[in-house]
Amino acid sequence: MESELRTPRPDPEETRRRLAAEMQEVRGALALVASGAASRVTLAGLRFGDELTARFSQEAAAEGIRLEPLFWPDDAGCDLIVRRIDE
Protein backbone atom coordinates (compact mmCIF):
# COMPACT_ATOMS: atom_id res chain seq x y z
CA MET A 1 0.00 0.00 0.00
CA GLU A 2 2.89 2.36 0.70
CA SER A 3 4.03 2.24 -2.94
CA GLU A 4 0.50 3.25 -4.05
CA LEU A 5 0.81 6.52 -2.11
CA ARG A 6 4.05 7.58 -3.77
CA THR A 7 4.04 10.07 -6.59
CA PRO A 8 4.87 8.33 -9.86
CA ARG A 9 8.35 9.01 -11.19
CA PRO A 10 8.50 11.23 -14.27
CA ASP A 11 9.15 9.37 -17.49
CA PRO A 12 12.37 10.85 -18.96
CA GLU A 13 11.33 9.97 -22.52
CA GLU A 14 7.93 11.65 -22.12
CA THR A 15 9.64 14.70 -20.59
CA ARG A 16 12.02 14.88 -23.57
CA ARG A 17 9.15 14.61 -26.06
CA ARG A 18 7.10 17.24 -24.25
CA LEU A 19 10.03 19.68 -24.08
CA ALA A 20 10.82 19.16 -27.78
CA ALA A 21 7.16 19.75 -28.71
CA GLU A 22 6.97 22.92 -26.63
CA MET A 23 10.19 24.21 -28.20
CA GLN A 24 8.61 23.70 -31.64
CA GLU A 25 5.52 25.60 -30.52
CA VAL A 26 7.64 28.55 -29.38
CA ARG A 27 9.68 28.50 -32.60
CA GLY A 28 6.45 28.54 -34.62
CA ALA A 29 5.02 31.42 -32.62
CA LEU A 30 8.25 33.39 -33.03
CA ALA A 31 8.19 32.78 -36.79
CA LEU A 32 4.55 33.92 -37.06
CA VAL A 33 5.19 37.13 -35.16
CA ALA A 34 8.54 37.84 -36.84
CA SER A 35 6.99 37.43 -40.29
CA GLY A 36 4.16 39.81 -39.50
CA ALA A 37 1.53 37.10 -40.03
CA ALA A 38 0.47 37.68 -36.41
CA SER A 39 1.19 40.50 -34.01
CA ARG A 40 0.63 38.29 -30.98
CA VAL A 41 0.41 34.57 -30.24
CA THR A 42 -0.53 33.00 -26.92
CA LEU A 43 0.69 29.49 -26.18
CA ALA A 44 -1.32 27.86 -23.41
CA GLY A 45 -0.50 25.02 -21.07
CA LEU A 46 3.28 24.95 -21.30
CA ARG A 47 5.03 22.81 -18.73
CA PHE A 48 8.50 24.25 -19.35
CA GLY A 49 7.76 27.98 -19.41
CA ASP A 50 10.82 29.07 -17.41
CA GLU A 51 13.19 27.04 -19.55
CA LEU A 52 11.60 28.13 -22.82
CA THR A 53 11.58 31.81 -21.88
CA ALA A 54 15.27 31.65 -20.93
CA ARG A 55 16.15 29.67 -24.06
CA PHE A 56 14.39 31.95 -26.57
CA SER A 57 14.49 35.42 -24.96
CA GLN A 58 17.65 36.63 -26.75
CA GLU A 59 16.47 35.31 -30.11
CA ALA A 60 13.09 36.94 -29.58
CA ALA A 61 14.59 40.30 -28.58
CA ALA A 62 16.80 40.29 -31.68
CA GLU A 63 13.61 39.98 -33.77
CA GLY A 64 11.83 42.76 -31.86
CA ILE A 65 9.66 40.25 -30.00
CA ARG A 66 8.83 40.02 -26.31
CA LEU A 67 8.10 36.78 -24.43
CA GLU A 68 5.71 37.24 -21.52
CA PRO A 69 5.14 34.14 -19.37
CA LEU A 70 1.94 34.00 -17.32
CA PHE A 71 2.75 31.54 -14.55
CA TRP A 72 0.07 29.34 -13.02
CA PRO A 73 -0.29 28.86 -9.27
CA ASP A 74 1.77 26.16 -7.59
CA ASP A 75 4.36 26.12 -10.40
CA ALA A 76 2.07 23.89 -12.47
CA GLY A 77 3.00 25.48 -15.82
CA CYS A 78 2.38 28.67 -17.71
CA ASP A 79 0.92 30.36 -20.74
CA LEU A 80 3.33 32.32 -22.92
CA ILE A 81 2.49 35.46 -24.85
CA VAL A 82 4.73 36.06 -27.86
CA ARG A 83 4.27 39.61 -29.18
CA ARG A 84 6.02 42.41 -30.99
CA ILE A 85 7.84 44.79 -28.63
CA ASP A 86 6.17 47.79 -30.25
CA GLU A 87 2.64 46.42 -29.73
pLDDT tens-digit map of 1-52:
455 567 677 788 999 999 999 999 999 999 999 999 999 999 999 999 889 9
pLDDT number for residue 7: 66
Assigned domain for 2 exists: no
Assigned domain for 81 exists: yes
Number of domain units in the chain = 1
β-partners of residue 71 are 78
Assigned domain for 21 exists: no
Position 83 confidence tier, pLDDT thresholds 50, 70, 90: very high
Assigned domain for 74 exists: yes
Assigned domain for 28 exists: no
Residue 76: which domain range? 39-87
83-79-45-11 Cα dihedral, nearest 10 degrees: 100
pLDDT number for residue 5: 63
Assigned domain for 87 exists: yes
pLDDT number for residue 1: 46
What is the pLDDT averaged over residues 67-72? 94
